[in-house]
A = this chain, B = another copy of it.
Amino acid sequence: MPGLDGTGPPWWGGKFRGCGYRITVPRQAILSVLSKTEDHLSAEDIYLKVHKIYPGVGLTTVYRTLDILVNMALVFKFDFGDKRARYELREGPKGERHHHHLICTGCNRVIDYTDFVDEEKDLLDKAEKGLSKKYNFKISGHSIQFYGLCEKCK
C-alpha cells in the first residue's frame, strides 16, 4: 500500500504532477500538516506548524500553496466569522470524510458533524437536480452549517 507508510510517494503526488506543479519541500510540509489534523487551521496556524520543522518556509508560500490546493479541490476554504480564512483537507487517501459544521457564534468554536448527512444527501441531490435545471446552473458543491451557542457559551 504505497504512500501510507510515509516512505512511498505521497498519495496526492499524482494529481499534483498531473496539474504541472512541482513537488517542493514547502508544499509537502503544508500538506503533511493538513493531513495530520482534524482542526480548521488558518494560514498562519499552518505557517507556525510548518515553521517548527522548516524554519525557512515563509507565510507567503503558505498562502500561495493553499490557493493552489483549493483550486485543485484538495482543500476546503472556509469563513467561520472570525476574520481569517480556515482550511481543511477535503479527503485523505482512505476516502471521504464528508461532514458539515456547527459554529458557535460566541467563541467561534467549530464542531464537525456527520449526523444526518445521509438524510441530507437525498434532499441535496433532489435540490441539486431541480435547481441546476431551473436556474441553468452547473452545481459543483454545497455547504451547510448551523449557527448557535456551544455548551460553554450558552
Contact = CB atoms under 8 A, between A and B. Distances in A.
Given A79-B79, A143-B147, A146-B128, A111 B123 contact: no
A17 interface: no
A144 interface: yes
B105 A131 contact: no
Given A79-B79, A115-B130, A130-B116, A141 B148 contact: yes
A54 interface: no
Question: Per DSSP, are chain A's interface residues mostly helix, strand or loop, or mixed?
Answer: mixed
Interface in A118-153: 119-120, 123, 126-128, 130-132, 134-151
Of listed A116, A128, A131, A146, residue having the most chain B CB within 10 A: A146
B135 A140 contact: no
Contact of A111 (B115, B128, B135, B145): B135
Top-10 shortest CB links A-B: A139-B148, A136-B151, A116-B127, A138-B154, A79-B79, A138-B149, A141-B147, A140-B148, A142-B146, A138-B148
13 contacts: A104-B137, A111-B135, A115-B134, A116-B130, A116-B131, A119-B126, A131-B146, A136-B150, A137-B146, A137-B154, A139-B146, A141-B146, A142-B145
